[in-house]
Structure 1
Amino acid sequence: MNLLVVGATGTLGRQVTRRALDEGFQVRCLVRNPRKASFLKEWGAELVQGDLCEPDTLSAALAGIEAVIDTATARPTDPQGIKEVDWEGKVALIQAAKTAGVQRFIFFSILNADQHSDVPLMEIKNCTELFLKESGLNYTVFRLCGFMQGLISQYAIPILDGQTVWVTGEASPVAYMDTQDIAKLAVRAISVPEAENRILPAVGSRAWSGYEIIRLCERLGDREAKIARMPLGFLRLMRRITRFFQWGQNVADRLAFAEVQASGKPLTASMDEVYLLLGLDPKETTTLESYMQDYFSRILKKLKELDYERDKNKKKRSKKTPSKSSSQSNG
């Protein structure tokens, strides 16, 4: 089957591409910068230059494509905002896919997106879900709530480096999921007719609060974390301030989403039906404990190797440097 992956250079997109290639799909990737996406070509994917914000580039990318997995989303640093990428760009992509005769369309939304119309990103995701349902395409929507990959920079690295870890508001428990497992769900859904025209959760085995993750990292890294609490009111103030500036629009929209994560309400859902529907074993899904254990074991091993090399080089330098007394005697 010919598959187009949109947003293939992102955290989730590259895992979807890798998984699809491993399962024998002919994968094409829509990329804005082929040079930065060269690793996808090395994996075996075909690269087509295009942009969601340039609808004229989409028809060529969709030629001969049977299924689309859309992982793209606006980054806070992008020149385009979520309105341009996550709404106007997605509408253009869905319309182009319909015109091209695409058979399956996989879209990633946010858990409880239909319950937060006051949060721009969630409102746009919900509107895109509705637009996709009305498009006539055979779709599957996966509602996500957080990637395990993001926890490395948020918790693990600061704790290892002795930096401050910020915890916001009531620190809502979140059922984070490994992007490799999300990719497995998405690629599997393409081949399962029962998954057509369904909205499904894609979340981890349990919800973790920020403090629980910090304690896990402290134990695995054998370090004590420096914790600072950021009041929810401060987030709201920063959201209002950044809205005054053009460059701050994306930041303000993301801060609004951060308020949902800081509300104290758990972000999780049952995955029983999803695993049954897709014929997958939930025991094969990565747990947060095992994910963090793997990371810390690899990074601590690397740190020990660096310490060993540093000590060895230091000893070599000390042997080559003549002592003060021998220098005086030779003089």
Structure 2
Amino acid sequence: MTLLIVGATGTLGRQVARRAIDEGYKVRCLVRSTKKAAFLKEWGAELVRGDLCYPHTLTEALTGVTAVIDASTSRATDSLTIQQVDWEGKVALIQAAQAAQVERFIFFSILDADKYPNVPLMEIKRCTELFLAESGLNYTILRLAGFMQGLIGQYGIPILEAQPVWVTGESSPIAYMDTQDIAKFAIKALSVPATEKQAFPVVGTRAWSAEEIINLCERLSNKDAKVTRMPLNLLRTVQKFLRFFQWGWNVADRLAFTEVLASGRPLNAPMDEVYKIFDLDKEQTTTVESYLQEYFSRIMKKLKELDYEKNKAKKQKNKKTPFKQSSSS
């Protein structure tokens, strides 16, 4: 079976590629830059240049492909908008997969996308789910809540560096999941018939509020967080202002997602039945506690080593001087 993985250089996509290669699948990755994706080639993947926003580049990439796993999304720093990548690009990919008679299509969506029609990314995910379901392709939709990897930049690093940790409104508890665990579900879906033409939540073992994450990071790092609360109304004003400028559309669309994160509504779902269908062991799923504990253990150890080397070098420098002190008579 040949897999085409789209978005394989991203946080989730690289874990999907790694898992697929480790399980013996022939993996092809659609990439915009072969230089940036060199690590995928080293792992054993075939690289094919292409771009969702240029549909003519998808035909070659899909030739001989059995299944597509789509982990791509636009980034806030991209010049392209959410509309261009996450809607127009996905429609082009689904249509190209239809034409190539691909047997399976795995798509990553967001949990509760149907509950936020005014949030561009959520509404686009909902529409893409519908488009995929009506395409005739044999699909599986995995609805995610949040990546544990994002907790490091949002909470871990700012707390270690005594920088502000930004919290917006009434923070929604989120069932974060390690991208390695999400990758297990994506690859397992390919071999489980019960996942065909179905949508499933794929979320972590429990939902965590921003305050709970901060308290955990403080305990593990033995440092106090500098929490700064951003009023939701201020973010809404900034978002509306940015909509007046084309260069600000992408940022404005991303800021709209804070409505989800600050709604107070948990992003979580029951997973017991999902584990049974996918025949995966819940006990092997990484928890937020263990993930952050491993991170802070590694960082604190590294900081101690650096501090030791620094002190050692300082002592050696002060131990001897090349000149004897002269005594004045």
Structure 2 counterpart SS, 1:143: strand
Alignment pair present for 1:269 and 2:259: no
- Tell me what 1:175 maps to: 175
Output the CA distance in 2 between the equivalents of 1:321 and 1:290: 48
AA paired with 1:118?
Answer: N
AA paired with 2:295?
Answer: Y
- Tell me what 2:101 maps to: 101
- Tell me what 1:20 maps to: 20
Contact 1:6–1:31 (Cα < 8 Å) also in 2: yes
Q: 1:321 to 1:284 in 2, by over 3 A?
A: same
Alignment pair present for 1:327 and 2:294: no
AA paired with 2:279?
Answer: G
Output the CA distance in 2 between the equivalents of 1:136 and 1:203: 27
- Tell me what 2:216 maps to: 216
AA paired with 2:326?
Answer: Q
Output the CA distance in 2 between the equivalents of 1:173 and 1:59: 41
- Tell me what 1:51 maps to: 51
Q: What TM-score do the two structures reach when normalised by structure 2? A: 0.98
Alignment pair present for 1:60 and 2:77: no
What does 1:194-273 correspond to in 2, within 5 Å?
194-273=194-273
Q: CA deviation at 1:101?
A: 1.0
AA paired with 1:34?
Answer: T
Aligned alpha-carbon RMSD (Å)? 1.3
CA deviation vs aligned residue, 1:38-57 (integer Å, no higher than 9, x gap): 00000000000000000000
Contact 1:104–1:190 (Cα < 8 Å) also in 2: yes
AA paired with 1:107?
Answer: F
Output the CA distance in 2 between the equivalents of 1:251 and 1:203: 26
AA paired with 1:286?
Answer: T
CA deviation vs aligned residue, 1:31-86 (integer Å, no higher than 9, x gap): 00001100000000000000000000001000000000000000011111011100
Q: CA deviation at 1:238?
A: 1.3
Q: What TM-score do the two structures reach when normalised by structure 1? A: 0.97
Alignment pair present for 1:301 and 2:301: yes
What does 1:18-167 correspond to in 2, within 5 Å?
18-167=18-167
Structure 1 counterpart SS, 2:12: helix
Q: CA deviation at 1:330?
A: 10
User: Which stretch has the larger CA shift, 28-37 or 110-119?
Assistant: 110-119
Aligned-residue sequence identity (percent) comes to 68
Output the CA distance in 2 between the equivalents of 1:82 and 1:163: 30
AA paired with 2:248?
Answer: G
Contact 1:235–1:259 (Cα < 8 Å) also in 2: no
Q: CA deviation at 1:327?
A: 3.1
Output the CA distance in 1 between the equivalents of 2:249 and 2:51: 20
Unaligned runs of 5+ in 1: none
Output the CA distance in 2 between the equivalents of 1:251 and 1:237: 13
Q: 1:195 to 1:318 in 2, by over 3 A?
A: same
Output the CA distance in 1 between the equivalents of 2:290 and 2:35: 34
Unaligned runs of 5+ in 2: none
Aligned length: 329
Output the CA distance in 1 between the equivalents of 2:193 and 2:328: 87
Output the CA distance in 2 between the equivalents of 1:204 and 1:267: 10
What does 1:278-289 correspond to in 2, within 5 Å?
278-289=278-289
